[in-house]
């Protein structure tokens, strides 16, 4: 049975788990994940970093009380990603190519039976759990919730119904992704609120900021903290080279 079918048919989930956090992920393969960081670090290091970020994100998701967790990924990555995670979490293949198609698939797959569904990126495992709880709480009274990033994108988006045109031509990965989403929300006359702004790990400055935070609180993302320990000299050199505070 497909993992999504098991997820839908289990009445215990429907009665006790009305909230679902879906992590948007890829299989950790060189040249495919975190490609902008390859300009600053060896490809194998970047691939290992992504794997650590993803595993820590999964751990964050599974730590939430009363929240079902699942993973959405490109169809070509489904088997490799399920093998990599190896923890019984449902890994569901999206329909179509690209992140916009993936987000559309999240809400078409998971919003049945009145579920509140939040799609979350795979590289912000250091986010406070309270922010994710707040995202679900917002959906009690709003149609859409968005977690904006500082670079013009968003680290989470949630809804309690499928809106097929919400992510059309989204320009994901660009500095205008958030503006485009907000424009469509307004055009569709959906109610909306925000969680606090945050950041994901896309470029060297993000990684330097993450390293600084995790040195103070490594328990927030232990696998990523271990990676940073292994690659500390490279990250410190990156810090000096780029001049980030």
Residue 236 lies in a domain: no
Would you say residue 234 lies in a domain?
Answer: no
Q: Is the dihedral of CA 60, 86, 16, 108 positive or negative?
A: positive
pLDDT value at residue 240? 72
What are the CB-based long-range contacts (under 8 Å, 24+) for 63-68?
63/129, 64/21, 64/129, 64/132, 64/133, 66/16, 66/17, 66/19, 67/17, 67/19, 67/20, 67/21, 67/132, 67/136, 68/7, 68/13, 68/17, 68/19, 68/20, 68/21
**Pairwise CA distance, residues 70 & 32, whole Å:** 21
Q: Strands 144-148 and 116-120: what pairing?
A: unpaired
In a domain, 230, yes or no: no
Number of domains in the chain: 1
Asked if residue 103 belongs to a domain, the reply is yes
Of 17, 24, 52, give the one whose Cα is nearest residue 225.
52
Residues 82/91, Cβ–Cβ less than 8 Å:
yes
pLDDT at 176: 84
Determine the Cα–Cα distance for residues 159 and 166; give it in Å rounded to an integer. Answer: 10
With tokens 């600084």, the residue in question is: 212
Tokens describing residue 32: 């495919």
User: What is the pLDDT tens value at each position of the chain, 245 positions in all?
Assistant: 444 554 444 433 333 448 999 999 999 999 999 999 998 899 999 999 999 999 999 999 999 999 999 999 999 999 999 999 987 789 999 999 998 999 999 999 999 888 999 999 999 999 999 999 999 999 999 999 999 998 899 999 999 999 989 997 655 555 688 999 999 999 999 999 999 999 999 999 999 999 999 999 999 999 999 999 999 888 888 777 665 44
Residue range(s) defining the domain that contains residue 182: 3-199
Quick one: the chain helix, strand, coil %, rounded to 5?
50, 15, 35
Q: Which long-range contacts (CB under 8 A, 24 or more apart) does 238-241 make?
A: 238/40, 238/41, 238/204, 238/207, 238/208, 239/208, 239/211
pLDDT recorded at residue 87: 72
Q: What is the CATH number of the domain that holds 164?
A: 3.90.550.10
Q: Is residue 106 part of a domain?
A: yes
**Residue 213 located in a structural domain:** no
Query: Does any domain span residue 238?
Result: no
In a domain, 243, yes or no: no
Helices (H) and strands (E) in the chain, counts: 10, 7
With H, G, I as helix, E, B as strand and everything else as coil, classify residue 221.
Answer: coil
pLDDT score for 6: 46
Cα angle 214, 218, 221; round to 5: 90
């Amino acid at each position: 049975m497909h993992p999504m079918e098991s997820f839908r048919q289990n009445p215990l989930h429907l009665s006790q788990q009305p909230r679902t956090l879906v992590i948007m992920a890829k299989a950790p393969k060189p040249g495919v994940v975190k490609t902008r960081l390859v300009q600053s670090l060896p490809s194998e290091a970047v691939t290992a970093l992504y794997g650590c970020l993803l595993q820590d994100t999964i751990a964050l998701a599974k730590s939430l009380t009363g929240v079902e967790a699942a993973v959405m990924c490109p169809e070509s990555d489904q088997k490799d990603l399920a093998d990599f995670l190896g923890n019984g979490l449902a890994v569901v293949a999206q329909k179509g190519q690209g992140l916009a198609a993936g987000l559309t698939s999240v809400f078409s797959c998971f919003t049945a039976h009145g579920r509140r569904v939040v799609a979350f990126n795979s590289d912000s495992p250091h986010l406070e759990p309270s922010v994710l709880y707040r995202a679900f709480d917002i959906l009690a009274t709003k149609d859409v919730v968005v977690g904006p990033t500082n670079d013009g994108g968003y680290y989470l988006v949630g809804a309690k119904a499928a809106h097929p045109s919400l992510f059309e031509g989204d320009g994901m990965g660009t500095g205008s992704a958030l503006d485009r989403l907000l424009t469509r929300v307004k055009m569709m006359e959906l109610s909306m609120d925000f969680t606090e702004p945050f950041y994901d790990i896309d470029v060297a400055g993000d990684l330097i900021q993450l390293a600084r935070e995790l040195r103070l609180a490594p328990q927030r993302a232990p696998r990523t903290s271990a990676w940073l320990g292994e690659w500390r000299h490279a990250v410190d050199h990156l810090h000096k080279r780029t001049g980030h505070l």
